[in-house]
Structure 1
Amino acid sequence: MSTEPSPPFTWQFNLGRIPVLVEPSFWLMTVMFGMIGSRSWQAVVSWVGVVFVSILMHELGHALMAMGLGCDVAGIRLYMGGGLTYFDRALSRWRDVAVSAAGPLTGFLFGGLMLAINILVPPKSLMGQIILMDLMWVNFGWGIINLLPVPPLDGGHIARGVLGPTRQRIALWLGVITAGCVVALALNFRAFFIGFMFGMFGYQCWQALQVTRDIKPMEPVKVAELEPDALARGWQALRSGHESEAARLGHLALSAAKPGEESNAARDLLAWVALAEGNARAAVSHLEKVQPPEAARPYSLAMAYEAAGLHERALPHALAALEKERTEALTALAVRLLVKAQRLDEAERTAREFTWKATAKRDTLLADVAVARADFGAAAALHASAFEAGGNAEDAYQAARDHARAGQGAQASEWLKRALAAGYDDYEELARDPVLAEARSAPELAERIARRGKGVA
């Protein structure tokens, strides 16, 4: 999994050879659920433990089933939406159904074990009873909800697998109708969060219907004709923000592709889908399966390696891509990686030689070079120039940081005011940024930051 996109305070550990990443949003959402019903703090703490263990068991069910069917597991991520398990390849239709069903089944088995303990050796303490009841509710109750035929729930994946590629629109319509029924019931019982969640799921299904077409059965001799259409629609879905549909079409294209150029093109799409999902490790895995290895697109490799934090491996591919085609995105990528490698003269030359559509981007990159040289005065001037050209509040904020590191407290305060006036709103980051400690202590700024920190305009 990607290391750079992880939010601050993310907890990472390994279960055997499976990396696990727990985002802060997971704990926040779980605590909010636990506080419903005016529970005591002890009950809330136990609830958080119950949900963590139960969802981790659920995701391990997916992971172990996939590993048993020949997949490598790229990692498990727990976040505010629940959990996700990442694989390095696609499975056949019915194996994918088995992997989707393994998560809820694991929860049912774990819940059954808790039920047996409750019957055979019931806990004597009230807290023990609460923990067992919560474990049974999460593993049975949530498991049943998760089997509803609504993507992205496991039941939705199972329905799409059972119906097959020729009936994908039926699966999506089933998701829309089921989600609508759940929303109606939730509103009737005043379960507003459930209603909101399934309303969002139903809307996502409706959006997917706009780009999804059923794959018509073809004669064996015409299977190769399936790949170009699936691949093109996969890129279209990815550009529209429908990563799950893009992934499905990418895997479909890969399954129909001939070895070589066709399969490599499908792997390239799947790598970009993985990058869009924040799964850099899977992106790298797809690209490293390209045959021959030198056929992989250098730009794709550079982006995947950078997202995975492998900057030294990304740089030669970025430079190779830049030799073939000079675009703003490629040039910016190359400059970023050259700065990471401390090849600062080359980074500056690359940024200055390119003809940018807007000078703000160039000046921001040159400011990064100046910061790497510890020339904070020059960096401040460049960030100021970028702000004047583009009006981006982040450039004004960075100008304030540059002035502060140059020991120019008054200028730092003035640029911080300009950043806030331009719309900079990451008050949490501002409040803990040690570089700007002196600048934000100015009375006007301190009062404004404190007021916004409390949610007051």
Structure 2
Amino acid sequence: MSMDTPPPLSWQFNLGRIPVLVEPTFWLMTLMLGFAIKNPALVVCWIAVCFVSIMVHELGHALMAMALGSRGVSIRLYAFGGLCYHEVLSRWRSVAVSFAGPLAGFILAGLVYLATPVLPLHSSMGYATYKFLLYVNIYWGLMNLLPVPPLDGGNMAVGVFGPTRYRMALGLGVVASAAVVAWAVISDDTYLAVLFGLLGVGCIQKLATAKDLKPFKPVKVAEVEPDALARAWQALRSGQETEAARLGHLALSAAKPGEESNAARDLLAWVALTEGNARAAVSHLEKVQPPEAARPYSLAMAYEAAGLHERALPHALAALEKERTEAMASLAVRLLVTASRLDEAERIAREFSWKAPAKRDTLLADVAVARGDFGAAAALHASAFEAAGSAEDAYQAARDHARAGQGALASEWLKRALEAGYDDFEELGQDPTLAEARSVPEIAERLARGTKGVA
């Protein structure tokens, strides 16, 4: 996933100071859970109820965590429900945070029940909404309180038993999940049987390696997770964002104020960027103390991803002054072009010592496009393509020729892009710049074959 852009079709917004990211897999899974509903309008109602209810649940976690002193709280909704990211808290505070989610759902269900006299239950839509709200917030809430990690009830059990009886909490999770599976089989509830079967297997796997901590000994995070921050960076580079976030929060909870906590916040900001949650990344970095201690490159990337280009630019230039890497130079040029400071962008692109001339030509082409000099941009993209063979450069050369009114050259370069492996047929099919080039029989046939292959 790109560091610069959120996941495709994701939705980002803020609830007060809490950044929220809703992944497209959340909508897909919710739709699948409501698959048995035949009425399309009721399916939409079901999805809306699930969104509101799970959001209320995660807000319960988030608000309790903030009330108990956690910073950098954020919410993510994805295929398997929701996650609330927060700093690691003490044992009993963690129990309170875990219980706050189901409690928020129960409160919502109670308010809905109390409002029964004024609800439009005479209509099919009103009655369905009422039943869905009670079902999701009460039934799912009760299931979530079962003592099976990583459900909220399981997390509460781990906290109640404490670190000296961790294996006992996992054993309880195995027994509870087995009981639910047995009940689900009798009730012919396949989904519930599979879900708790998987949860039970997870508890068994953890039991195989888990150890109870010795009693009466203060436990430091560093003893449980040695080198948490270094391991978090390794996990992030390996594409394991969830593990990186867990280790990053552990490192932050054990860090001393200042350099150590700032390093942990920087890591968590990059985790958030990787997950497409730019607002959470900005939130982490703006908590660095003192503010000038935040890494300029991290700030620039976070602000750019959040669409705050004016705030990103000075940090990008500062990062380039401190460390002249290609990534920082590219970011600086990109932001200068966005700010219409084209002479500065061109100077950096020309003066920087690029390992490959193709990168320089691509950035200079962006400057030329911003100036409206599409002929120069086409030549630069063509030069970059000849040097590196990137299909994207050939595609951009075709667009430049098209905008310069050179239809024949646009078609020729579009053919070269397709021959070089350009396969974003959805983008190509919707690009108004290349409408004329797409009508060329050879290209139209190739596009039709490619679109059919993708479908």
**Which category describes the TM-score, using the shorter chain as reference length?**
0.7 to 0.9
TM-score (normalizing by structure 2): 0.77
Which structure 2 residues correspond to residues 87-126 of structure 1 after superposition, within 5 A?
A: 90-111=88-109, 123-126=121-124
Residue 426 of structure 1: aligned partner:
424
Which structure 2 residues correspond to residues 205-220 of structure 1 after superposition, within 5 A?
A: none
Which structure 2 residues correspond to residues 54-203 of structure 1 after superposition, within 5 A?
A: 54-71=53-70, 76=75, 78=77, 80-85=79-84, 90-111=88-109, 123-144=121-142, 146=144, 154=152, 158=156
Which of 349, 372, 397 is matched with 1:374 structurally? 372
- The aligned length equals 454
Give the letter aligned to residue 5 of structure 1. T
Q: Does 1:254 align with 2:245?
A: no
Residue 393 of structure 2: aligned partner:
395
Shift of 1:235: 2.0
- Which SS does the other structure have where 1:407 is aligned? coil
Residue 417 of structure 1: aligned partner:
415
**Structure 1 residues 218, 366: closer, same or farther in 2, change over 3 A?**
farther
Which structure 2 residues correspond to residues 30-45 of structure 1 after superposition, within 5 A?
A: 30-34=30-34, 36-37=35-36, 39-45=38-44
Shift of 1:123: 3.6
The whole-number CA distance in structure 1 between the counterparts of 2:184 and 2:453 is: 30
TM-score (normalizing by structure 1): 0.77
Residue 403 of structure 2: aligned partner:
405
Residue 318 of structure 2: aligned partner:
320
Contact map agreement 2:4 2:273 (CA 8 A) in 1: no
**Structure 1 residues 238, 151: closer, same or farther in 2, change over 3 A?**
farther
Give the letter aligned to residue 438 of structure 1. E
**Structure 1 residues 417, 217: closer, same or farther in 2, change over 3 A?**
farther
Which structure 2 residues correspond to residues 223-372 of structure 1 after superposition, within 5 A?
A: 229-372=227-370
Q: Deviation string for 1:93-114 (max 9, x for gaps)?
A: 4334433332233234434555
Which structure 2 residues correspond to residues 47-58 of structure 1 after superposition, within 5 A?
A: 47-58=46-57
The whole-number CA distance in structure 1 between the counterparts of 2:408 and 2:93 is: 64
The whole-number CA distance in structure 2 between the counterparts of 1:443 and 1:51 is: 48
Shift of 1:160: 6.4
The whole-number CA distance in structure 1 between the counterparts of 2:192 and 2:387 is: 46
- Which SS does the other structure have where 2:227 is aligned? helix
Q: Cα RMSD over matched residues?
A: 4.8
Contact map agreement 2:21 2:277 (CA 8 A) in 1: no
Contact map agreement 1:150 1:174 (CA 8 A) in 2: yes
Shift of 1:76: 4.7
The whole-number CA distance in structure 2 between the counterparts of 1:375 and 1:113 is: 62
**Structure 1 residues 75, 288: closer, same or farther in 2, change over 3 A?**
closer
- Which SS does the other structure have where 1:438 is aligned? helix
Q: Deviation string for 1:153-180 (max 9, x for gaps)?
A: 5556556656777899999999999999
The whole-number CA distance in structure 2 between the counterparts of 1:251 and 1:378 is: 49
Give the letter aligned to residue 285 of structure 2. L
- Which SS does the other structure have where 2:340 is aligned? coil
Structure 2, gaps ≥5 residues long:
none
**Structure 1 residues 131, 331: closer, same or farther in 2, change over 3 A?**
same
The whole-number CA distance in structure 2 between the counterparts of 1:22 and 1:144 is: 24
- Which SS does the other structure have where 1:437 is aligned? helix
Percent of pairs with identical residues? 72
The whole-number CA distance in structure 1 between the counterparts of 2:236 and 2:242 is: 8
Structure ranking higher on relative contact order (CA contacts 8 Å, 6+ apart) = 2
**Structure 1 residues 314, 92: closer, same or farther in 2, change over 3 A?**
farther
Shift of 1:39: 0.4
The whole-number CA distance in structure 2 between the counterparts of 1:221 and 1:85 is: 24
Structure 1, gaps ≥5 residues long:
none
Contact map agreement 2:270 2:298 (CA 8 A) in 1: yes
Give the letter aligned to residue 38 of structure 2. R
